[in-house]
Amino acid sequence: MIVTRLTEICGIRVPVVQGGMQWVGTPPLASAVSNAGGLGILTALTQPNPDALRIAIRETRKATPYPFGVNITLLPSINPPDYEGYARAAVEEGVRIFETAGNSPGKLIKYFKSQGCIVIHKCTTIRHAKSAERLGVDILSIDGFECAGHPGEEDIGGLVLLARAAQELKVPYIASGGIADGRGLAAVLALGASGANMGTRFMCTAESPIHQKIKEKIVASTEQDTVHIFRTLKNTARVFKNSVSTQVVALERRPGGAEFADLRELVSGVRGREVYTRGDPEYGIWSAGVTIGLIKDIPTCEELVQRIEREAEEVVNGVSSLIRPSGDGKAPIKAKL
């Protein structure tokens, strides 16, 4: 059993958090992850309004006696969602763990902390992580360049970003991006993280609500099958490489570039959601991390979390076996890592 600050603070057995993914973080998936020993996360904005979130929370609670959280991501928008309404609904329903992400989260974090809640905040830079630390978050989620969705604009991979977090941060942090198995979990623990946030890996599980054909597409794909869009708009997002995302990149690269208005129909969230319901990977834009190259099956969440835990323990024990007292006269052990 691996015990970290994450498992202690959140009351979970395995230091793995299911990412709060739009259209994916629903009661069946969140409860399955929590039942498996990790931390399941409901995505607030997947629900059309705060009252619908209340129903989703109640569904999840019926399906698991274990802790789960709610993700609220602050999006750049002319007509923003009712963030305060979602937050209040979740707190009133007894949720005590929140994953926040996006710009200017101070007001939301302050509210959650005033209600005695645990806040995990996602950041893509050490600068933003230190700012969130000052706001009083309990745990930071550090997103490397490998992650699905928005990796920021600084293009720093997890290996360096997590090592920098160890140098700079005082509160515990978890790693997000590029992790899909026990070897990845062991690696980020070695870099000082208290656990791992996995999104794309949990998309490809039996309890994930997305279409089976999309899960099969993930299994058939490689680490080369993602692409960045919105780079020229300074809102970079890593998505699956298909005909739509390729067209978006081509429009951005044309002389004079592209405005968001030129891309709006192609990147429509409605089309993205239809990908998951229709099972057509070419229908719209959908998020995927480079970890698709590591995903080879569609297990249940219980099978996946147990495997990750077992593999991580084996790797940690293997690395420990490399250490010998100096001068003991024995040849080094060739550990199978």
| CA dist 72 → 90, 140, 312, 315 (Å) | 10, 15, 29, 34
pLDDT tens-digit readout, 246-295 = 999 999 999 989 999 999 999 999 999 999 999 999 999 999 999 999 99
The model's pTM is: 0.94
User: What is the 3-class SS of the chain, one letter each residue?
Assistant: CCCCHHHHHHCCCCCEEECCCCCCCCHHHHHHHHHHCCEEEEEHHHCCCHHHHHHHHHHHHHHCCCCEEEEEEECCCCCCCCHHHHHHHHHHCCCCEEEEEECCCHHHHHHHHHCCCEEEEEECCHHHHHHHHHCCCCEEEEECCCCCECCCCCCCCHHHHHHHHHHHCCCCEEEECCCCCHHHHHHHHHCCCCCEEECHHHHCCCCCCCCHHHHHHHHHCCCCCEEEECCCCCCCEEEECCHHHHHHHHHHHCCCCCCHHHHCCCCCHHHHHHHHHHCCCCCCCCECCHHHHCCCCCCCHHHHHHHHHHHHHHHHHHHHCCCCCCCCCCCCCCCCC
Beta bridge partners of 142: 123, 175
What's the CA gap between 24 and 30, in Å, rounded? 9
- CA–CA separation, 177 and 123 (whole Å): 11
DSSP 185-206: HHHHHHTT-S-EEESHHHHTST
Q: Is the pLDDT of residue 305 over 60?
A: yes
CA nearest 294: which of 196, 207, 210? 196
Q: Which tens digits make up the pLDDT trace of 145-193?
A: 999 999 999 999 999 999 999 999 999 999 999 999 999 999 999 999 9
Q: How far apart are CA 20 and CA 97, in angstroms?
A: 12
Q: Give CA–CA dist 123/102, Å, rounded.
A: 8
Give pLDDT tens digits for 116-127.
999 999 999 999
- Lowest-pLDDT choice from 22-26, 67-71, 218-222, 319-323: 319-323
Is residue 242 within 8 Å of residue 232, measured between CB atoms?
A: no
pLDDT digits (tens, 9 = 90+) for 123-157: 999 999 999 999 999 999 999 999 999 999 999 99
The phi, psi pair for 123, rounded to 5°, reads: -135, 155
Look up residue 76 and give its DSSP letter: -
pLDDT band at residue 103 under the 50/70/90 scheme:
confident
pLDDT, mean over the chain: 95
The DSSP letter of residue 149 is B
